[in-house]
Amino acid sequence: MTYKNFLTIASIVAFLFALGFVLMPGQLVSFYNVELNAGGILIAQFFGAALLGYGVLNWLGRDFSDNGTRQAVLTANLASDAIGFIFALMGQLGGVPGVNALGWSTVLIYLLLAAGFAYLRFFSR
């Protein structure tokens, strides 16, 4: 997978989840068997705003030609997705009671993104 193709995919994933978390956070997390109070909705919208930023960064970053700039984009994404993977996995392994099996899709998304960014960052030339 090329740098440009992977960042395109990552940006689309970020945009889709950003829209959900910004516009309808309560409905989005209800698919996971989770309910949010007013404070939780606000925090989910903050998360959506951050995802929107990653989506924009990755969309614009697809065309970066400077290697140092590309490495910075990959490193930032890798850090975010690796930590997201850890928390998603902990949540599915019993850290959050009641979260349904759909949570495993979140674990998988974070894992695939983190693995792709790690590959591009450390192994791809």
Rg (CA), the chain: 15
For residue 55, give both structure tokens: 């989506």
Report the pLDDT value the prediction gives residue 99, as an integer from 0 to 100. 85
Amino acid at 57: L
Segments of the chain scoring below 50 in pLDDT: none
Rounded to two decimals, the pTM is 0.93
Look at residue 109 in the predicted model and tell me its pLDDT. 98
Question: 33-72 burial string, b = 16+ CB within 10 Å, else e?
Answer: ebebeeeeeeebbeebeebbebbebbbebbebeeeeebee
